Structure 1
Amino acid sequence: MSRIRNPWLRVGLDGWSLGVEASSVVGLRSMKLLAGGAGGAAEAQRMVAEKLDAGLALQALAMTGGLGWTPQAVATKTLAHYRKRVRANRRRLTKC
């Protein structure tokens, strides 16, 4: 496969890929929530806590310059920040 020379095309493809992966996590979480019980309640609480944590961590990175200084760096690092969490959730939810 040839390397993509346009960095914004890479950012766009990474964003699309993250969206596809995130939609699978939404489906997996939905099934767990619909199952109800203690597992569903725990998943709902975990979901809210993870979203708050991810948002606050990203904000801290942005405020300290951890995302970089160019628009492309910020976009790339933001996608990587969320991809790490989405993948962890997908792995956890597919173990069942």
Structure 2
Amino acid sequence: MGNPWMRLGLNAWALGLESSAVIGLRTLKIAAGGAEAEAETRRMVSEKIDSVLALQMLALTGGLGATPHRAATRTVAHYRRKVRANRRRLGA
């Protein structure tokens, strides 16, 4: 695919799709209740905080790149890695 903005758009779309799967898997786990549900809820919140703080630090230090496209691409890649790891973990 030659158009980098199109590639970014497709990666953002994939992030949305993968996120929906994780939301569904987490909902099932949390709905079951118990200690595992509580642990998953805590993990979910702490992961989100850790992830946004890491991304913010990259943005503040120039780690996301100097162009809007590079920053957006790296941001989407950052979140896709996190979501993919959760999908694997929750789907097991």
Interval of TM-score (by shorter of Structure 1 and Structure 2): over 0.9
Aligned partner letter, 2:56:
Q
Match of 1:65 among 62, 77, 81: 62
Separation of aligned partners in 2, 1:49 and 1:6 = 36
- TM-score norm. by structure 2 comes to 0.98
Amino acid aligned to 2:61: T
1:1-96 equivalent positions in 2, closer than 5 A: 4-95=1-92
Extract structure 1 runs of 4+ deviating beyond 4 A: none
d(CA) in 2 for partners of 1:22, 1:82: 9
Gaps of 5+ in 2: none
**Unaligned residue ranges in structure 1 (runs of 5+):** none
Q: CA deviation at 1:6?
A: 1.3
Aligned length: 92
- What root-mean-square deviation, in Å, do the aligned CA atoms of Structure 1 and Structure 2 show? 0.5
